[in-house]
Amino acid sequence: MANRKASQRQKKNSLKGVLIGFVLIPVLVITMIMLLEELSRAQGDYRRTLWDRVSGAPAPPQGRAEVSLQVAQEICRQEVARRLGSELIRANFDSRSSRYNQGYQVHTVFLNLEISGRERDDIYARCDISAVQRQILEFRIHGYSGGFLWG
C-alpha cells in the first residue's frame, strides 16, 4: 500500500515535470528569440520587431511624409536638450549615420554629443522620427550613464 502511494506520487511528480517542461521551454525559447531580435534592432535601420507586435505597439503612422531630415534633426536635438538639460554642451548632426527608411517613413537621426564633465567622445543620441506625424518613435542615448538612456 505504501509502495502504491509512493508510485502514484512519483507519477504525479513526473507528469508535473513534463507539463512544466512543455510550457517552460517554449516560453524561454520565444523570450530568447524576442530578446535577440530586439538587441539586433539597435544596430540597424528602424523596423518593427516581434516584441512590438506582441506588445501591441502601434505601427509607424502611414500617410504623406512631410517632415524633412532637417526638421527631424531639430526634433531630436530638442529632445536631447530636454532630457540632458544643462549637462549638454553640444549636439552635432552625424550625416554619415543618419538616414531615411522609406518603407516605414521614418528618419533615423544620430547626434554626436558633448556632455559636461565627460571626456568620452563616443556618446551619441539616436532618434527614430515619423516623417508623417513629427513624433519620436524611439529615442536612445548611448554611452551616457553606462549604457542606453531609453525613451
CA-to-CA distance for 105 and 114, rounded, in angstroms? 29
Give the DSSP per-residue string, 65-86. Answer: ----HHHHHHHHHHHHHHHHGG
pLDDT in tens, 46-92: 666 666 777 777 666 677 778 899 999 999 999 999 999 998 999 99
pTM over 0.75? The answer is no
User: What are 92-146's pLDDT values in tens digits?
Assistant: 999 999 999 888 889 999 999 998 887 777 889 999 999 998 899 889 998 876 4
